[in-house]
Amino acid sequence: MTAPAPTRLLPAVPESEPVPTLASLGPPRLLAGLDEMPRLDRVAHLARHGTPPRMSAQELVALAEDTDLRGRGGAGFPFARKLTAVLDGTRRADGKCAVVVNGSEGEPSCLKDTALLLHVPHLVLDGALLAAEALGAQEVAIGVTRQDVEDSVRRAIAERGPVRPALRVTKLTERFVTGEGTALTNGLNGGPGLPSGRKVRSSERGLNGIPTLLSNTETYAQLALAARLGALGYRTTGLPAEPGTLLLTVSGNRVVEVPYGIPLARVLALCGTDPGQGVMLGGYHGTWLSPEDAATATLSRQALAEHGAVLGAGAVLPMPHDTCVAGETVRVARWMAGESAGQCGPCVLGLPALADALAHAVRGGGSAALDVVRTRMRAVRGRGACSHPDGTARFVDSALTAFPEEFERHAHGFGCGRPVTGALPVTGHLPPTPTAAPPPPPQERLLVDWTLCRGHGLCADLVPGMVRLGPDGYPESANMPMPARMRRRAQLAVRRCPALALRIQGGN
């Protein structure tokens, strides 16, 4: 594949909430036109992309199969299988179904859905309406968590005028678990945006209790592009097995459109960075790549699987060399614990306990403290109403695996001397987490001055087990660690030594 040239787009206008800077490697598709204007309204959108075609359900399924379109929200589930499942559910539900766009993006390391809905919202609405018309859906509902995003979507809906099926956007509570399928539909139904705790497929029972096609913002935007380009046109970029482009959020503030198969190192270079100490890929339920793996990895499912990683939600978070990895991990673990839906024990109790155990270990709690962290991770896995406990445990486990020496140094009180800079972004404000306690005072030691010692042996009688005499009657060592429990006996030995050859060193 010929390496595409980098293209930089207009920087986003600063808002009260984080808004990304946009860029692309090669000609942009999803972000096309944003080098000329900050937002494509309805007229500019149609001038750039043209009118979308109408497609039957069978044609839409075939298109999704031919382009290997997969969900871009994290799981990478084949979109054609979702469509087929909803079609089957619709037949059993008297022809009723709905379409839901997940624009909640609770992952603070991701801004790609925000970028689409702020700058090219009509591309997303095109894809959602294309699916809704093919399925015969009664409604299209868009769930978001930011006020500026809601305003942009409402403006786009108004620009379209009356449409069938009806479009509506709802602002939901901003929480990490808001985007979970049942939490999202519960919130859109007017209830609390909490996971149900039951294995309910949205294709069987989703919005208003009817079969629902639920996917994220980028997936619908890709569908709208594929419908216009056709399968062959869509496949002109990317890889034969993974065609098209994808959106990545780099360092929590840059959204980049790249073709599948591009080296990760090129993406980092475009954003003015490098792998640093390692790269967190896929978001906070993702996996760390070592600097060596990040330098050679290409962005495809097959290539990343060889490193035990996935693209997930498209987050790319390099850890700078001047940042404390252990402290950053504690900070995110605390934030993840606070993002609990508050309805099951493993989240309400288990995740704060895991974060506290990790903080204790990083402050110099010793190897035993790291063992407690691993015990806490095992205690929360597979026991939540959603995947949040599993994902949080996986995040901590991945950090411990990727940076074992870093955590061992902190656990033994040596630390790294680097600050916590917020390289791993979180929403809201957290109290500063100390990365390491001051190093403990050196252990006291009992010293022997060989120039004075005459081998009386009294010290061995006064501090047995600590001072051992050699065959010649002299102490075997001149420098002996002194446990705290032996301090009084050692002081007595110092005072009673006939040759004044003993002294205590270290301590306060």
> Any idea which residue has 């997940």 for tokens?
102
Torsion sign over Cα 480, 405, 251, 351: negative
**Integer angstrom CA distances of residue 59 from 126, 231, 421:** 16, 11, 50
Per-residue pLDDT for 220 more than 50? Answer: yes
Residue type, 449: D
Q: What is the pLDDT of residues 433-452, one digit of tens each?
A: 444 444 455 678 889 988 88
**89 — pLDDT class (breaks 50, 70, 90):** confident
Residue type, 474: Y
| 389 preceded by a cis bond (ω within 30 of 0) | no
Q: Is the pTM of this model over 0.85?
A: no
Q: What is the pLDDT of residues 39-52, one digit of tens each?
A: 999 999 999 999 99
Taking residues 462-475, report their average pLDDT: 86
pLDDT score of 1: 40
pLDDT score of 383: 72
Domains and CATH numbers, the chain: 29-234 (3.40.50.11540), 248-318 (3.10.20.600), 325-411 (1.20.1440.230), 445-505 (3.30.70.20)
**13 — pLDDT class (breaks 50, 70, 90):** very low
Per-residue pLDDT for 179 more than 80? Answer: no
The mean pLDDT value of the chain amounts to: 87
Higher pLDDT, 423 or 20: 423
Per-residue pLDDT for 215 more than 70? Answer: yes
Which tokens in the block code for residue 256? Answer: 């980049």
Q: Cβ distance 27 to 7 under 8 Å?
A: yes
Higher pLDDT, 16 or 120: 120
**346 — pLDDT class (breaks 50, 70, 90):** confident
DSSP E strands in 186-275: the ranges are: 212-216, 245-250, 254-259
Taking residues 490-499, report their average pLDDT: 90
**Integer angstrom CA distances of residue 140 from 1, 158, 190, 208, 311:** 38, 15, 15, 12, 27
Q: What's the order of all strands across the beta sheet hosting 479-481?
A: 479-481, 445-448, 502-505
Q: Cβ distance 336 to 351 under 8 Å?
A: yes
Which tokens in the block code for residue 275? Answer: 């792998």
pLDDT score of 153: 96
Q: Cβ distance 424 to 328 under 8 Å?
A: yes
pLDDT score of 466: 87
Q: Cβ distance 173 to 155 under 8 Å?
A: no
Taking residues 109-119, report their average pLDDT: 93
Burial of 143 (0-12, 13-18, 19+ CB in 10 A): buried
**2 — pLDDT class (breaks 50, 70, 90):** very low
**Strand duo 166-171 + 139-144: pairing:** parallel
Burial readout 55-82 (b: 16 or more C-beta within 10 A, e: otherwise): bebeebbebbbbbbbbbbbbeeeebbeb
Q: What is the pLDDT of residues 355-405, one digit of tens each?
A: 999 999 999 998 899 999 999 998 888 777 677 888 899 999 999 999 999
Which tokens in the block code for residue 314? Answer: 């498209």
Q: Cβ distance 197 to 177 under 8 Å?
A: no
Q: Cβ distance 97 to 213 under 8 Å?
A: yes
Higher pLDDT, 223 or 350: 223
Q: What is the pLDDT of residues 398-426, one digit of tens each?
A: 999 999 999 999 999 888 889 999 999 88
Higher pLDDT, 92 or 332: 332
Per-residue pLDDT for 508 more than 60? Answer: no
Q: How many CB atoms lie within 10 A of CB 18?
A: 15
Q: What is the pLDDT of residues 264-323, one digit of tens each?
A: 999 999 999 999 999 999 888 888 999 999 999 999 998 998 888 888 889 999 999 999
Q: Cβ distance 99 to 141 under 8 Å?
A: yes
DSSP E strands in 234-274: the ranges are: 245-250, 254-259
Higher pLDDT, 179 or 61: 61
